[in-house]
Structure 1
């Protein structure tokens, strides 16, 4: 269910890419920076606010609210009358859509124990990476055959279906919120039975001395910035994740240029080459999903039954080899004299490298911080990550 939520955000952010110039032409936009903004404005700072808010109000409520916010404004994008309205609606829809990514990782950390978390996160991390593959394929055919407004209507329709199912089956998972609700129920029951005490002392293990509402909200909103500026792990992981995401979205715009410009394919046929990226992402994900927990369990047994988050980084070694190898093959062979399947092989390797890196760092951060962040170079954290992590007040007891 969580994967279904986070799948829609990258689909929406990337589906518009093949149609951006067509939309720009209709609105009379000639500035390439503005054209690029039509796609990138979806990358709004929603995670910085919605992620911490899920620790105050609960995962389920904020997840549902973020998805509802996204689908309302994404639907509004289809009715934009000029580029200013479209940019504004894209920003607002991205605020909710990207916020889903920050909340979903926390849900996985709430539900699964470390030794069971690998396969769940492997499935989950496939969604935000496979979405940018499905989106451009659909967007390319829409751009060639139909009205560009369907790039907004189609994902909104799916998001509505996900929202309805989620309302029925999605439950709260955040332990402090669950215990707070239980304590509130006990206090009410005790107050009813003990008439003289209207506020019996029933507290949870998560209750602190300062429980004023404004203090709770303030701490939740400030925590991501404190983690970033105080934690070397988060800073390094964020830099590497920025590189991976930058490479991914660079590919989203480069693939049509390669196969339309060099191989003279139509827009729809050129969009089918995104399948190569999907093969790399989904194929390797299915393999790693079955091995992540196995490797973690074996290394934990060798360490006397004590697991470490650094055990998750082993799969980054092949990932950091496959990613540059795929980039080299794609760039070196993208020529008219070379068959089109060869660049596609490079694209497959790029997808494989991305998913291995993404899965490893996602589980590492969930295990170490139970928060959302990004990645780092594997050799540094495989050899020295435990030492760096133990200097962190937030992750040293992981």
Structure 2
């Protein structure tokens, strides 16, 4: 069905309808979803009861369609970040790279994901999620193909950076789209399903990379992922719909202004931009992630905690293959299979965290007389998860130190990743709930520090392990995680509402 036929903002007359839809003109206007307040007939907004064009009122299947598109997109972006790790020695020999340069070729992708969301997130709040997703998909595809054809180390490093810039769109758009289409009581489940496929990439990337490094040219790592990305470009153009409410309402208001020739129709968001030039809007939007990071304690606290966890993840990812090859003397192909333990821990953690978050939220709603539940209700889950993550990391360090049977090491890293994933989900949900109008900018602000730690932490990890070993090295990291991960949620539990109330405007 053409949604225009039942769009309450589209003028319904006998002349404007096809013959087989002429009966719609006889429907009382009061029975159609209204997008305007009775107090101001020219204010265009979603109907509070039900509006077919409000992404939160979409059919469940349609919500899952856009969620799954982003989830599959995230899978390929994350896989490309790790797939070349097992082939670094081969690539370095062919392109005459030093060990530092080959490590840079791997990690420069992560550096790009620090800066990409800072621009991409705000742009999605000007032009909508759909346009930004399509442009970033094509950009990533072009430069990922270029990586496969790189014949110099400079071209490879540059192409990896530019591919990472396009790939970073998922970090800004993911939280934004989930906030657009899912309601707070569905936050845990939507996050859990959204993360299900991308977390597989943590294992799939190194496994595929290990086998390709041993059996074919490393260039197929980029060509094969580009084929997958080309399919995702086609799927996103077909399935993905605009989800950002202000853009949808703006288009609805514009349609009304054109059809009625009455310029008085407006949206709340358009009223905020009255008198501003395009340049002024760009400056305001593009500076928003920096202002959030500079002036919002909530963003600052979560950026530090999530950045730490993300940095630890990439310490493990970057050094896991070396552990098995150099310390346990496994083949490159077999070393990649151990990444299954990492991915499994994150997958199990995401599903436990999703169900636990929604259960805690429902209990809070049932026991409260308030009409809305504060984002702080998400935080209790983080306390236990922080201890679990630290325990797993300590066991991982000491079992690796003493070359205990490989299954013990894999179980330990499974526990660590499960705890870290459970701890991270309430923080993402908290940000989505706290910044509903600018979720993408808020996620971009937190992603900035996360990507920087993912880029920097693996650089000092080898020196740390060499100096004090896996046991004390991982134990010290785990204790630092407890110092960061325990007090912060307590502070937000007690003062979060006050901090949100006093936070400077994010407009």
Between stretches 281-290 and 57-66, larger displacement belongs to 281-290
Seen in structure 2, the aligned counterparts of structure 1 residues 218 and 378 have a Cα distance that, compared at 3 Å, is same
* Aligned match for 2:427, one of 361, 374, 377: 361
- Selected match of 2:264 from 201, 206, 218: 201
Instruction: Report how many aligned residue pairs link the two structures.
Output: 387
Q: Paired residue for 2:493, among 375, 378, 382?
A: 382
1:303 aligned residue (326, 350, 368): 368
TM-score by length of 2: 0.73
Q: Of 21, 38, 41, which residue of structure 1 is paired with 2:89?
A: 21
- Cross-structure match for 2:503: 392
Aligned pairs (5 A) from 1:336-355: 337-355=403-421
- 2-structure distance, mates of 1:87, 1:255: 23
Where in structure 2 are the equivalents of 1:117-128 lying within 5 Å?
117-128=187-198
Shift of 1:128: 4.6
Deviating more after overlay: 71-80 vs 332-341: 332-341
8 Å CA contact 1:280–1:352 kept in 2: the answer is yes
Could you tell me which residue of structure 2 aligns to residue 294 of structure 1? 359
Verify the 8 A CA contact 1:179 1:204 in the aligned structure 2. Answer: yes
**Aligned counterparts of 1:71 and 1:14: Cα–Cα separation in 2:** 16
Structure 1: distance between partners of 2:398 and 2:315: 16
Q: Which residue of 1 aligns with 2:460?
A: none
Larger mean Cα displacement after TM superposition, 278-287 or 106-115: 278-287
RMSD: 1.7
Contact kept? 1:126, 1:355, Cα under 8 Å: no
Whether 1:39 aligns to 2:106 is yes
> After superposition, what is the alpha-carbon deviation per residue over 1:52-106, rounded to whole angstroms, capped at 9, x for unaligned?
0000000011011111110110011000011000011111111110122111210
Does the 8 A contact of 1:325 with 1:350 survive in 2?
A: yes
Per the alignment, residue 67 of structure 1 pairs with 137
CA offset at residue 141 of structure 1?
1.3
Q: Which of 296, 304, 307 is equivalent to 1:239?
A: 304
Quick one: distance in 1 between partners of 2:305 and 2:351?
Answer: 23
**Counterpart-to-counterpart distance in 2, 1:113 and 1:268:** 43
Distance 1:270 1:98, change over 3 A: same
Give unmatched runs, 5+ long, in structure 1: 192-198
TM-score, length of structure 1 as denominator length = 0.93
For 1:112-191, list aligned pairs within 5 A: 112-191=182-261
State the alpha-carbon separation in 2 of the partners of residues 180 and 390 from structure 1: 28
Report the counterpart of residue 322 of structure 2 in structure 1.
257
Distance in 2 between residues matched to 1:390 and 1:128, nearest whole Å = 34
Deviations 1:158-179 (A, max 9, x none): 1111111111110001011001
Larger Rg belongs to:
2
Q: 3-state DSSP class of the match of 2:269?
A: coil
Q: Which residue of 2 aligns with 1:96?
A: 166
Q: Quick check: 1:288–1:356 contact (8 Å CA) kept in 2?
A: yes
Partner of 1:196: none
Q: 2:390 aligns with which of 305, 309, 324?
A: 324
Q: Is the 8 A contact 2:202 2:342 kept in 1?
A: no
Give 1:135 deviation, angstroms: 1.1
